[in-house]
């Protein structure tokens, strides 16, 4: 395909998505390690290009690997219950420090090397993410009780790109660690976003896990529920997939699961007909 064809293919999408909100979940995994500055720079370029053509991107991030690293540097030991880390007060301090003090400004700075548009927010700001404890035995691990989208909307209305850490807060001001996949889906729903996009370290969803040619390019929430029920979708993908299902049922037009390791994956998915990952829309219940 010629370069001109590529640009012509992009045009209807640029038109269709102008003025629309696209929530992008950027994983802590994508940032961990050494060579990832390049990956972050490419991601930042995509966000800036989307913004330049009139899309309203919102970035939501966690930072699991970075939290683990600081906990071990500080010698804070973790206890696990059913595979989930028990978040005591000392651990929660570290979660807040890492997400708000390290990961968030790293993403903000990367975007701002291409334009002065990114604004870092914590889920505690204006109580964007109201949390409820998941299970008292897990400490300060929270679920999203409610999203207050007002601050995000005003940042968007002023033409900036919000970058949001998934620290939540309860009615008494206690901070909680919230799963970033779930938080991103809930934020997309509260913003009535056009899309929720998950950047992962897998190549979309596959019908056969080990077979790259079995990539599911398009599916519906109904089909996806069947794939969860029959075990095709399993393990670590389940929270992501369930967040996609819930967001689409809640009015988000489409959810996308993409391989964040592909250079400029956001542009390839949004501005081509075929895309490069898995796109999930409403449909058969
Ligand atoms: N660019 C279009 C969109 O973002 C189509 C993407 C198709 N992607 C796919 N994985 N089938 O809506």
Distance 275 CA to ligand 1 centre (A): 5
Atom of ligand 1 nearest to the CA of 274: 7
Q: Which residue CA neighbors atom 2 of ligand 1 most closely?
A: 270
Of 20-24, 101-105, 151-155, 236-240, least confident by mean pLDDT is 236-240
Residue 170 main-chain phi, psi, to 5 deg: -95, 180
Angle between helices 237-249 and 221-229 (to 10 degrees): 150
pLDDT tens for 15-58 read: 999 999 999 999 877 665 445 568 899 999 999 999 999 999 99
pLDDT tens for 184-232 read: 999 999 999 999 999 988 878 888 878 888 899 999 999 999 999 988 8
Atom of ligand 1 nearest to the CA of 271: 1
CATH 3.40.1160.10 fits 3-281, yes or no: yes
The pTM of the full predicted model, rounded to 2 decimals, is: 0.95
Q: How far is CA 264 from CA 4, 7, 104, 192, in A?
A: 18, 15, 20, 25
Ligand 1 touching residue 50 (CB < 6 A): no
Distance 17 CA to ligand 1 centre (A): 12
pLDDT tens for 232-279 read: 888 778 888 999 999 999 999 999 999 988 999 999 999 999 999 999
d(CA 190, CA 185): 9
For tokens 């970058």, the residue is 163
CB atoms within 10 A of CB 71: 18
Burial annotation 215-227 (CB, 10 A radius, 16+ → b, else e): bbeebbbeebbeb
Question: How is residue 33 annotated by DSSP?
Answer: S
Ligand 1 touching residue 279 (CB < 6 A): yes
Using DSSP's 3-state secondary structure scheme, residue 189 falls into: helix
Using DSSP's 3-state secondary structure scheme, residue 254 falls into: strand
Distance 160 CA to ligand 1 centre (A): 25
Q: Please give the pLDDT value at position 36.
A: 55
């Amino acid at each position: 395909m010629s370069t001109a064809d590529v640009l012509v293919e992009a045009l209807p999408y640029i038109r269709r998505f102008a003025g629309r909100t696209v929530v992008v979940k950027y994983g802590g995994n994508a940032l961990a390690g050494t060579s990832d500055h390049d990956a972050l720079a490419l991601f930042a370029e995509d966000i800036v290009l989307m913004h330049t053509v009139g899309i309203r991107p919102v970035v939501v991030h966690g930072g699991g690997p970075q939290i683990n690293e600081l906990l071990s540097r500080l010698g804070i030991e973790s206890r696990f219950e059913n595979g989930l880390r028990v978040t005591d007060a000392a651990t929660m301090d570290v979660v807040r420090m890492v997400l708000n003090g390290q990961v968030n400004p790293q993403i903000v700075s990367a975007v701002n090397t291409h334009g002065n548009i990114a604004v870092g927010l914590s889920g505690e700001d204006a109580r964007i993410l109201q949390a409820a404890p998941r299970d008292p035995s897990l400490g300060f691990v929270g679920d999203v009780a409610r999203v207050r989208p007002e601050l995000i909307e005003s940042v968007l209305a002023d033409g900036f790109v919000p970058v949001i850490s998934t620290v939540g807060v309860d009615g008494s001001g206690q901070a909680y660690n919230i799963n970033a996949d779930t938080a991103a889906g809930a934020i997309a729903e509260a913003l009535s976003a056009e899309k929720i996009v998950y950047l992962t370290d897998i190549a979309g969803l596959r019908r056969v896990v080990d077979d790259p040619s079995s990539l599911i390019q398009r599916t519906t929430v109904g089909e996806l529920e069947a794939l969860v029920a029959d075990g095709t979708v399993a393990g670590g993908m389940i929270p992501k997939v369930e967040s996609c299902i819930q967001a689409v049922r809640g009015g988000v037009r489409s959810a996308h699961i993409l391989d964040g390791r592909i250079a400029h994956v956001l542009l390839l998915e949004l501005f081509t007909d075929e895309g490069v990952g898995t796109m999930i829309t409403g449909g058969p219940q």
